[in-house]
Amino acid sequence: MTKRPIAYLAGIGSATPRRVVTNTDLEKTLDTSNEWIVERTGIRQRHFAEHDETLTSYSLVAAQQAIAQAGLSAGDIDGIIFATVTPDHRLPSTACGLQAALGVAGGWAFDLVAACPGFVYGMAVAEGMMEVGLGDTILVVGAEKLSSITDQTDRSTAILFGDGAGAAVLRRAGTDGRGILSTYLGADGTLAPLLHIPGGGSADPLSEELIRDKRHLIKMAGREVFKAAVLAMSRSTDEAISRAGLTSSDIDLLIPHQANLRIIEATAKHAGLPMEKVFVNLERYGNTSSASIPLALVDAVREGRLKPGMVVMLVSFGAGFAWGSVVLKW
């Protein structure tokens, strides 16, 4: 393998649908309370897309920001990796939809299904594609419209998920040391039923009965997922740090998947990082699956928490189960 860094993030962007739904709004339709949600998750509000807002429409805003920040135009993009579990259509990919919305054609484009760590998986795939000569400038998007697959009458999931999009332009690294220092990916498909959508795929195609039984919506065994998340996120931090040849004291900022503040705190504790070195923004967006890490990256830069030269670790876990981590020099 070529000596790292092979790829760095030249530009990032994010966008959310307009409508903000607070915990107090949810109190009106669900047997829940703002206090319970804040205490058990840390979430205070989330964004839900309205009918005129497609995944492509708000991902386009995030992608255009990332491309502009990289000082490029859409025509400079060699390929698009679009991580999502809520594509606009079953066929074709939302990556192709985004390519068309950007007004370009010719480069490659595909969707990547890895749930919450989708953006981390996408970064690792983009780096690998650069290594084998399939592009020098790759757009990685993590975006979701989880409101479309959430049972809004199920208080154990409806309070958690939100919609949003994040994007990054990865470019071939120069000699300044900026870029990806390590990647780690993992999965355990034997635990799939703990967090899944039972129906609506080709194994159990859409039917009136399926919709009546809500088999097209997310089912989650929250407590079990919680335990698995802490274990996998902890292991992922160890792997990413050691693969980069670093120790936890070298990490300037941890950007974890924003699912639950208690999972984040446990992960940080395991990694030996004080919460001052951890970025948290889930109070504003809830759990946005693959959009969570890039939404946090953008906010961390905007808030001055992530500055050039810092070493940042991204770590994520979700349905599959799948997990992964990346250490990079910003």
Which listed residue (116, 196, 216, 281) is catalytic? 116
Tokens of 282: 């889930």
Smallest gap, in angstroms, from Cβ of residue 220 to ligand UT7? 7
Nearer to ligand UT7, 137 or 288 (CB): 288
Alpha-carbon distance of 168 to 102, in angstroms, equals 15
Annotated catalytic residue 116: yes
Nearer to ligand UT7, 223 or 307 (CB): 223
Q: Tell me the residue number closest to ligand UT7, measured at CB.
A: 222
| Three-class secondary structure of residue 20 per DSSP | strand
Nearer to ligand UT7, 95 or 194 (CB): 194
Site for ligand UT7, rule CB under 6 A: 32, 36, 40-41, 116, 155-156, 159, 222-223, 225-226, 229, 259-260, 263, 287, 318
Which listed residue (23, 47, 216, 257) is catalytic? 257
Neighbour order of strands in the sheet with 253-256: 179-187, 322-329, 311-318, 253-256
Smallest gap, in angstroms, from Cβ of residue 120 to ligand UT7? 13
Smallest gap, in angstroms, from Cβ of residue 125 to ligand UT7? 20
What is the dihedral sign for C-alpha 291, 234, 185, 193? negative
Nearer to ligand UT7, 182 or 287 (CB): 287
Annotated catalytic residue 216: no
Smallest gap, in angstroms, from Cβ of residue 208 to ligand UT7? 29
Smallest gap, in angstroms, from Cβ of residue 143 to ligand UT7? 15
| Three-class secondary structure of residue 233 per DSSP | helix
Q: Which residues lie across from 316 on neighbouring strands?
A: 324
Smallest gap, in angstroms, from Cβ of residue 271 to ligand UT7? 17
User: How many residues are listed for the chain in this entry?
Assistant: 330
Smallest gap, in angstroms, from Cβ of residue 292 to ligand UT7? 8
Could you give the C-alpha distances from 207 to 87, 149, 211, in angstroms and in order?
Answer: 20, 16, 6
Alpha-carbon distance of 329 to 99, in angstroms, equals 29
Tokens of 42: 């840390």
Q: Is the Cβ–Cβ distance between 43 and 103 less than 8 Å?
A: no
Amino acid at 302: R
How many of the other CB atoms lie within 10 Å of CB of 52? 8
Of 237, 235, 285, 291, the residue nearest 260 (C-alpha) = 285
Nearer to ligand UT7, 8 or 161 (CB): 161
Nearer to ligand UT7, 219 or 243 (CB): 219
Cβ neighbours for 248, distance < 8 A, ≥ 6 positions apart: 237, 241, 271, 272, 273
Which listed residue (23, 47, 260, 287) is catalytic? 287
Nearer to ligand UT7, 63 or 159 (CB): 159
DSSP string computed for 34-60? HHHHHHHH---EEEE--TT--HHHHHH
Catalytic residues: 116, 257, 287
